[in-house]
């Protein structure tokens, strides 16, 4: 256990980054404090401003809200949001190792935290190999509170580039209700038809709500 008289940089050099607690780790990226508080104290203030009171709060707070905290200007706020996004991507890459995307519940568990709090509709294309393991995913569109616009052309260009054998669509409903809209059903039918023609089948379209999801295949909206 390191002494709390040591600065975070010194702790990392002497003991390794894993010895830092959350506020010390955050302080490394904040770097400088204010006249009244050092970087560790500013970091502690950042963490305590979140409802979660931990690093998870960085994932949900807008960067402009971070700027309301003394000691956090525009550059630091953007750096912290980039740090949160980097951590999120690493975590998701680890989580999907060996994961088979063969059940709607699996897709729900994988995407629910990143999508259910979104204030606008976000459509994600999942590109899969023959074993239903993810090759990659990509955001196709970010729409309004009520709808998003998906380009089938862009969708299949991405799928071909990644050499996907099959694809899935996932998107959120900011209202929290995953009931499919007419637009959801229309784009699903269109992508399914084009996928059959291109031999890159659409295997499901999952809508993420606040506390549950809707699989359009399970609900019988797919034509066989």
For 37-45, the CB contacts below 8 A with 24+ separation are 37/70, 37/71, 39/8, 40/8, 42/69, 42/70, 42/71, 42/72, 45/69, 45/70, 45/71
The predicted structure's pLDDT at residue 2: 57
Q: How far is CA 61 from the centre of its chain?
A: 13
DSSP per residue over 145-171, as a string? SS-----HHHHHHHHHHTT-SEEEEEE
Instruction: Of 121, 112, 166, give the one whose Cα is nearest residue 140.
Output: 121
pLDDT in tens, the chain (224 residues): 455 456 888 888 888 888 889 999 999 999 888 889 999 999 999 999 987 778 888 888 889 999 999 999 999 999 999 998 888 778 777 777 778 899 999 999 889 888 887 888 999 999 999 999 999 999 998 875 555 678 899 999 999 999 999 999 999 999 999 999 999 999 999 999 999 999 999 999 999 998 899 999 999 998 76
Identify the CATH homologous superfamily for domain 97-215: Cytidine Deaminase, domain 2 (3.40.140.10)
Can you give the pTM of this predicted structure? 0.67
Check if the beta carbon of residue 185 is closer than 8 Å to that of residue 208: no
User: Strands, DSSP E only, in the chain?
Assistant: 122-128, 134-142, 166-172, 202-208, 213-215
Per domain, the residue ranges of the chain are: 8-94, 97-215
Interior CA angle at 173 toward 102 and 94, to 5°?
45
Please name the residue that has the structure tokens 């404090």. 33
């Amino acid at each position: 256990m390191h002494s709390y008289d040591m600065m975070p940089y010194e702790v990392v050099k002497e003991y390794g980054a894993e010895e830092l607690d959350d506020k010390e780790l955050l302080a490394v990226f904040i770097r400088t404090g204010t006249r009244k508080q050092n970087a560790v104290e500013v970091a502690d203030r950042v963490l305590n401003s979140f409802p979660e009171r931990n690093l998870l709060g960085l994932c949900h707070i807008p960067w402009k809200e971070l700027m309301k905290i003394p000691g956090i200007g525009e550059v630091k706020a953007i750096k912290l949001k980039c740090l949160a996004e980097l951590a999120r991507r690493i975590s998701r890459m680890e989580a999907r190792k060996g994961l088979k995307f063969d059940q709607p519940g699996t897709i729900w568990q994988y995407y629910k935290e990143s999508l259910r709090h979104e204030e606008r509709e976000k459509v994600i294309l999942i590109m899969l190999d023959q074993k239903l393991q993810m090759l990659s995913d990509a955001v196709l569109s970010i729409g309004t509170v009520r709808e998003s616009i998906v380009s089938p052309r862009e969708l299949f260009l991405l799928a071909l580039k990644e050499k996907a054998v099959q694809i899935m669509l996932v998107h959120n409903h900011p209202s929290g209700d995953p009931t499919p809209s007419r637009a959801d059903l229309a784009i699903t039918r269109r992508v399914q038809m084009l996928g059959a023609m291109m031999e890159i089948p659409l295997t499901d379209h999952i809508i993420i709500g606040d506390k549950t999801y809707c699989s359009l295949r399970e609900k019988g909206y797919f034509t066989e």
